[in-house]
Structure formats: structure tokens, C-alpha cells
Structure 1
């Protein structure tokens, strides 16, 4: 590995040298092919293509990284929870790789610092942090293979964040809980979504959640999905004892 580093030190440009050192700090080991990581930080707005006209951006790496995360975490859960059935293991994996958690991981590593884009960072959605983290994992797989990819996921995700007892009690979707409860109790539910701009420049959506024809919760947010989740959370706490009743 020392020989590889010496060779790279001779051939890298000063800019690549800085990028190499920064990647090495995040990875905990030496990257070999920096182009994989460069691609992992290239936003589609850059409109880059390779010699064959194929787009160069992080979206395909994002897909690959998602698969790597899922497989490594699935294997960990399979080993650590021998009594867990398929449904339990699937829910636990979903909690670990939830969009909220992936965004947190991406923010913690400050991956957005390296994004190459023609769009201002203030226009990126919150999910770019998680997308970059998945793309970064995909880049690791292409660069160093499965063993190093697994090593990184274990160090950055499993060891610091995967606490089985805590995860069992973690709610990742209040909307799913409310819908499951309504279906179980044969209750009719409906999310009434409407545009709600108010006096703000940013478009908002309002949501009224009705159960058996009665409005039980209201919420507003910058997207329909977020507004529905907020309304569901309020409904959950209103009916918590009934929902959690075995």
C-alpha cells in the first residue's frame, strides 16, 4: 500500500492531492481511483458526459450504494438477531437506511462540500445529503471492492448507530402506523391535501386527516408528503394509547 501511495504522490496534481487526502480522512483508508469519488460528487446539472455520451453524475452510484448498504446491513441483522423473522428484519433494515438517517450521515461527513454543480447549494433539497452518502458508498465499492465497502459501512453506520433495542422503538413513518391502525380497526381515513401559500414566498401544502369522516389532525409543510407525515404524527399522539394497544 505504501508503494501505491508513492506512485500516486508522483502522478497526482496538487488539486488531486488535496482531494486524495480529504477522501482518505473520510474513508479511513487510501482511495485508489479518484475518478469514482469525483463522479460521486457530480450533480446532474453539471451536464457532463463521457466519451460515449453517457451522463456523468452520482445517480447511478447512488443506486449502487443503496444496494451495498442494504446487503451489508441485512447480513448484520441476520447475524445479530437470530430470532427475527423476515418482516422484523425488513422493518429494522428500513429504519437504519431511512432517508432521515442517510441525510444525517451525509451531513455529518459534510459530503456536500465537494459537490460539483451549476445549481446553487441553497436550491438542493434536504435529501441530497443522503443521496451523496449512497453515491459515496457506491464509489467505494467500485474503487476498492466489497470488503472495503463493508468495512466503511460497519465503521460509519453500524458501530455508531445500530442499537437494536433503540431501533425497535423508533418510528420512521407515523403515516404508516396510522394507516395500519385504521385498516386493522376498519376505520375510514382520508388525507385532504390543498395548496396553502399564505403570505409566504415558498409554496406550502396543507393537509387535513379525516378518520371516519371527522378531522383529527391538520398540518402544513413545503411538500405534500411532509404535510401528510406531520398530520399523521399529530394524529398518532392523539390516539397513541389505542394505536399501541396490543
Structure 2
């Protein structure tokens, strides 16, 4: 029995050592408390609790990481674009910390390989990549403080991905852009959403987008949100010259 315990202990120790090394390679410095990082990759499906009975998963760290990322990016933009007003800076920050971009960052670092879960990873939604990226930032903040958190964000987000000129022309949501334009131009708009199931058995939603009572575009996707966004993008290209002129 003692031999089995030692084997298990050595195996667990080896796993922790490998995890420690992998995390150090990603964040660029030596963690002080590996427990924060283990928690950053623990899914709620594990039902783990701390000694006080509080849930042990990445969700609270995700909240903290989101706030820290937003603060660092806000400070960077404030310093880099001294002529930008509040509205401009807010839009630019939103583009950098968009869910799509955070998911891309998480995928690029292949963070999902560290996730401990009772749910198969293929059943996770796409946002898992961005969620654990934010949780990792939260873990860094608790472990090493703001300065290290800022260094990590500069290395992994700002330096490789943030180009002010390119970001100015990037559209996060075609639906939001189109609605904003319609409201400014006093145009009526309507998204007519309906079930549009295909022969493959997959549930789809269809959308007809009308502007001033005229159907401008149609789209089909596996969710209402995706269908509306796709229809909005197609409508944007119809009115692109007028919309861009107003930006």
C-alpha cells in the first residue's frame, strides 16, 4: 500500500511539474503560487470546493481577468492616442477585447489543453477559449500583481495583435453598425426571424432584413444571432459607401 501511495504521489508531482513548466513558458515568468493557475483551468463541471465550501473553478478569475485586461488596454490606448475622445477610445477597446478576439488569443495559446473538466472538450462552446484566457490573466494578477499582469498583456495581446490603424477600420458587429446608421439616418429597419430547418435535421434560423420596408438581405444560420449578423453584413455591403461616409 505504501508503494502504491508513493507511485501516485510521484505521478501527481510529475503532472504538477509539467503544468508548472508549461505555464511558465506561456506567461514568461516563474509563478509563485501554481494553485491560482490550476484554478484558472478548472471547469465548474468538476464540482470542486475549497475548504470553506466555495466553488473552485475559473469563473471568478475570468471576471477578474476581464477587468484587468480592460484596464491595461484602456491605459495603453489613452497613452497611444492622445487625440482620441471617450467614444473613440471605448470603441477601440471594444475591438481589442471582443469575444471573437479573446477566443482567438485562447486558441493561439492552446489553453484548452489544460482544462480539467468532466465534460468532453468537444462539447464546450467556442467562448471557452476566451474565458480561460481571461481567467489566466486573473490568476497572474493574484499571483504576481498588476505589473506582471500588464507585461503579459503587452506580450500576448498588444505587441502581436494591436495595430491602431487596422483596428480603426475593423467592424465588430455589423448589426450594431447598421442599426446605428439607420437610427442616424431616420430609416426604419426590421429583422424578420423564422425557423428554416434543412433536410439534414439541423435546426436553422432564417432572417429577412428590411430597411424602409424593403427587403435588403437574407441569411440563414444555426442561431438567430448568427443569422442576424450575417444578414446585417450583407446589408452593410449594399450601403457601405453611405455608411462609411458617416463614420
**TM-score, reference length from structure 2:** 0.92
2:205 equivalent to 1:205: yes
Q: Indicate yes or no: 2:72 matched with 1:75.
A: no
Q: Deviations over 1:96-119 (max 9, x none)?
A: 001111011000000000111111
Map of 2:4 onto structure 1: none
Which residue of structure 2 lines up, in the alignment, with residue 43 of structure 1? 43
Greater shift in the superposed pair: 214-223 or 156-165: 214-223
Q: How many pairs does the alignment contain? A: 236
Q: Secondary structure at the match of 2:218?
A: strand
What is the match of residue 87 of structure 2?
87
Superposed CA RMSD: 1.4
Aligned to 1:52: 52
CA 43–213 in structure 1, closer or farther in 2 if over 3 Å, else same: same
Q: Which deviates the most, 207-216 or 136-145?
A: 207-216
Instruction: Measure, in 1, the Cα distance between the counterparts of 2:164 and 2:41.
Output: 32
**Partner of residue 8, structure 1:** none
Within 5 Å, which residues of 2 pair with 1:138-153?
138-153=138-153
Q: CA deviation at 1:203?
A: 2.4
Deviant stretches of 4+, over 4 Å: none
**Where in structure 1 are there 5+ consecutive unaligned residues?**
1-11
Tell me how far 1:226 sits from its aligned partner: 1.3
Distance 1:240 1:233 in 2: 10
CA apart distance, 1:225: 1.2
* Partner Cα distance (1:60, 1:43) in 2: 11
CA positional deviation for 1:204 = 2.0
Q: Does 1:219 pair with 2:225?
A: no
1:168 equivalenced with 2:162 (yes/no): no
Taking the TM superposition and a 5 Å limit, the aligned residue runs for 1:1-246 are 13-246=13-246
Q: Compute the TM-score of the two structures, normalised by the length of structure 1.
A: 0.92
Relative distance call for 1:175 and 1:122 in structure 2 (3 A) is same
Task: Write the distance in 2 (CA, Å) between the matches of 1:108 and 1:201.
Answer: 33
Distance 2:210 2:161 in 1: 36
Q: Provide structure 2 residue ranges, at least 5 long, that are not aligned to the other structure.
A: 1-11
Counterpart position of 1:7: none
What is the rounded CA distance, in whole Å, between the counterparts of 2:141 and 2:201 in structure 1? 42
SS of aligned partner of 1:70? helix
